[in-house]
Amino acid sequence: MFEGKTALVTGASRGIGRAIAVDLVKNGADVALVGRDRGALEETVEACNAAREGAKCLVLTGDVADQGAVSGFVEETISALGRVDFAVANAGQSVDALLLRLKPDVIDQMLSVNLKSAFYLCGAVAKPMMKQRSGSIVLMSSIVGVMGNAGQAAYAAAKAGLLGLTKSLAKELGSRNIRVNAVAPGLIETAMTEKMPDEAREYLLKQAALGRPGKPEDVSGVVTFLCSEAAGYITGQTLVVDGGVLM
């Protein structure tokens, strides 16, 4: 399906990001894997190679909250793999704290890692995608960005910002055949959600119609769909993957 196509995935070291990379590779794409932990990224490469023998995987380490670094990731991807067709802004971080206890540096950190990094990636891939007059950008939000959550004001604000960014860029880039969509996962079994307080976890499970947490693969398939021609007339949308919490 994606033969001859290249995807760049941030936050590809583990969890949802790794699952996205593996699924895209399984469907024929080459991938550029972005993260901080080279060792973990190499494990993602192994998983990609197991999914499809001969897949081209480029490992890129650095800070997604650094605009210059992100521009460099895109340049290296095009230099090594020839093009960039899909960009998935998956990198994210959560620090829980009530508003009255939120420190300015934590707010800055949440906005930088979860929101500014997506701005930088979109800005860096927009030019080459506009030149080739095609592309799909997927921003990883969260149901917290849709419904809010006590103790996660900074995280929720950043994830909500991605939804506005999605719609605005869809309108800006649509005439060049570039689609921009968001995915809003619910409780997915990852290293990040393992750190959730038990009460918050139980609350989400009780709200989920399916009565269980999701797996990274439940999200990766949706991202693959949004990158595919099957979603060729979908842009500016948010697909919620939460087992039925938001209804």
The reported pLDDT for the residue numbered 96 is 86
| Residue 96: inside a domain | yes
pLDDT of 197 strictly over 80: no
The reported pLDDT for the residue numbered 190 is 83
pTM comes to 0.95
Q: What is the CATH number of the domain that holds 26?
A: 3.40.50.720
The reported pLDDT for the residue numbered 195 is 67
Considering 120, 155, 203, 233, which one is annotated as catalytic?
A: 155
- 166-192 in b/e form (b: 16+ CB < 10 A) is bbebbeebeeeebbbbbbbbbbbebee
Angstrom distance (rounded) from CA 50 to CA 11: 20
**Contact indicator for 185, 145 with CB cutoff of 8 Å:** no
Q: Is 233 a catalytic residue?
A: no
Token representation of residue 40: 């973990």
| Residue 43: inside a domain | yes
In terms of residue numbers, what domain contains 59?
6-241
Angstrom distance (rounded) from CA 82 to CA 60: 15
**pLDDT tens, 45-92?**
999 999 999 899 999 999 999 999 999 999 999 999 999 999 999 999
The reported pLDDT for the residue numbered 115 is 98
Tell me the residue type at 49. N
pLDDT of 198 strictly over 80: no
| Residue 247: inside a domain | no
| Residue 1: inside a domain | no
pLDDT of 131 strictly over 80: yes
